[in-house]
Amino acid sequence: MTKTILLIALIAALAFVSCGTPSIKGSGNVTTEERTIDYVSKVDITGNFSVEINCGETNTLKIEAEDNILPLIETKVEDEKITIRELEKLTNLREIKIILSIHTLVELETNGKSNIIAKNINSDELDVSMDGEGEIQLEGKVDDLNISMDGEGKILAKDLQSKNAYVIVYGDGKSEIYARKSLKAKVKGEGVIDYYGDPEDLAIDVAKGGAVNKK
């Protein structure tokens, strides 16, 4: 009897918490907002956005979203890193588009379900970290590429010409990589790494269920 009462109380408490944090719906009125930003070379994105990063350009930021949603998208810059995230739980929205133009990209982090494309990358080193179900496309060239991903997302970087690449995949994610000189590829779950190019130095470490494939 006591266990039954406790179970009912727990269910009621969870229902109360759920009702206490309602999601916010979009108005349907889409508008574009430009925001002033300082120098940026690092990007950290949390949420569900469609993001275009254009490298080799003057720093600018444009956000296209419903007018009542724009104030709920936080963008702040600190130590050359721009952080973009949702301040509230959002639902039934039109696509939120973010266009970010920066001079160079050396670090990209994402958490959530965002689809991101970064174009015209030209860096000595690029660190990419993904946690979630989103997708990242990378285009350009870099000397050293470091990728770490966890979840069911995709990092498609075969169009990013790298000399040296280090890639580690946890979970069920997929990564496509181009490496010219060296490649260190690790799969710690059931993920997949497809690599392009003919790296002279090749080190592969794959757990049961995972795969590293030459393309």
The 10s digit of each residue's pLDDT in 43-63 is: 999 999 999 999 999 999 999
CATH 3.50.50.60 applies to domain 105-215: no
The answer to whether 135 and 154 have CB atoms below 8 angstroms apart is: yes
Q: Helices (DSSP H) in the chain: which residue ranges?
A: 2-20
The structural domains of the chain, with segments of one domain joined by +, span 105-215
DSSP for residue 38: -
Kindly report each contact of residues 125-129 with a partner whose C-beta sits within 8 Å and lies 24 or more positions away, as own/partner: 126/160, 128/155, 128/157
Structure pTM? 0.88
Assign 3 a pLDDT band (cuts: 50, 70, 90): very low
Give strand pairing partners of 215: none
**Has residue 18 got a pLDDT over 80?**
no
**Has residue 193 got a pLDDT over 50?**
yes
